[in-house]
Amino acid sequence: MIFEKKIKCINFSLEKLVSNYKNAESLLSVINNNRDFLGKYLEWVDSYTTTEKALMNIKKTRKTDKCSYFIIVDKKIAGKISFVDTDNNMGEISYWLSKEYNGRGIITNALQILIQIGFDKMQLNRIQLTIDIDNTRSCAVAEGCGFKCEGILRKYFLLRGVPRDMKIYSIVK
């Protein structure tokens, strides 16, 4: 399935970045500037320490098209949203946004776009999110987009070796 390279929105765009060192350095800079903020719930942040690692992520996002986009605000990388797992019926979305852009409705709007793509273009019947129980802002985004909390997955995820409870959210067609 082919997805658009760029989706324009009112105050941001969803883009598949060109694989180059400039974009990789920009991505690494965003992660470095948000390491504590993002690392509170996302362990992958720990492994993003080189431009090469960031470049590999950009290449993967552009090449293996699973509906994965960088969130661009004012021509700068602000975050990422992706379908991280799909089958012929269900898809799971993951997202992150740098601290400076929180509270502007960007993730809510980006999530609504991916929901529409998932249901309309990918013909999914179910979309789900798995969110750390303490990540109240992300839970509020999910609920604001119509996701229903199906329950708690106890000790579901290890974050730096510590078991974390996760909420499972879904929205169905």
User: d(Cα 69, Cα 79) in Å, to the nearest integer?
Assistant: 9
Q: Mean pLDDT across the stretch 48-66?
A: 82
Ordered structural domains, the chain, with CATH: 6-172 (3.40.630.30)
| Sign of the Cα pseudo-torsion (61, 63, 66, 70, in order) | positive
pLDDT surpassing 80 at residue 61:
no
Q: What was the pLDDT predicted at 5?
A: 85
What are the C-alpha distances in Å from 168 to residues 74, 111, 133?
Answer: 32, 16, 9
The residues with which 93 forms a beta bridge, in sequence order, are: 83
The pairing of beta strand 126-132 with beta strand 90-97: parallel
pLDDT surpassing 90 at residue 66:
no
- 148's tokens: 């229903």
Q: Are 141 and 107 in contact (CB under 8 A)?
A: yes
**6-20, 44-58, 61-75, range with the lowest pLDDT:** 61-75
The residues with which 68 forms a beta bridge, in sequence order, are: 82
Q: What was the pLDDT predicted at 85?
A: 78
Q: What was the pLDDT predicted at 19?
A: 86
What's the CA angle centered on 21, arms 19 and 25, to 5 degrees? 115
Better-scored residue on pLDDT, 85 or 56 = 56
What's the CA angle centered on 69, arms 65 and 70, to 5 degrees? 145
Q: What is the pTM of this model?
A: 0.92
